[in-house]
């Protein structure tokens, strides 16, 4: 088994629908420009309020990917 090296980046995904959709948006954006994505960590969840309801979810995620050999 060979040793591997990984890198983590931090992104903020947003959605007006849900926390899950905000995570999916961040992962999809990372996948558009990076290869070998392996995991994500939700490190912060917040949102904005408009009137008496949630206007937007904002989720900070760290995404890990394997560095090419």
pTM exceeds 0.85: yes
Distance separating alpha carbons of residues 35 and 58, to the nearest angstrom: 24
In a domain, 42, yes or no: yes
In a domain, 34, yes or no: yes
Structure tokens at 16: 């007006």
| CATH number, residue 17 | 3.30.1660.10
**Structural domain total, the chain:** 1
In a domain, 55, yes or no: yes
Does 69 score more than 90 pLDDT? no
Structure tokens at 22: 């905000």
In a domain, 36, yes or no: yes
Query: Using CA of residue 12, residue 13, residue 19, residue 24, what is the dihedral sign?
Result: negative
- Does residue 47 contact residue 57 with C-beta atoms inside 8 Å? yes
Give pLDDT tens digits for 16-42.
999 999 999 999 999 999 999 999 999
Does 1 score more than 60 pLDDT? no
Range of the domain at 48: 6-66
In a domain, 1, yes or no: no
Mean pLDDT of 53-57: 97
């Amino acid at each position: 088994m060979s040793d591997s090296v990984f890198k983590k980046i931090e992104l903020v995904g947003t959605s007006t629908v849900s926390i899950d959709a905000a995570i999916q948006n961040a992962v999809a954006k990372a996948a558009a420009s990076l290869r070998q994505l392996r995991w994500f960590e939700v490190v912060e969840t917040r949102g904005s309020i408009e009137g008496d309801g949630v206007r937007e979810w904002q989720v900070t995620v760290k995404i890990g990917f394997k560095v090419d050999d």
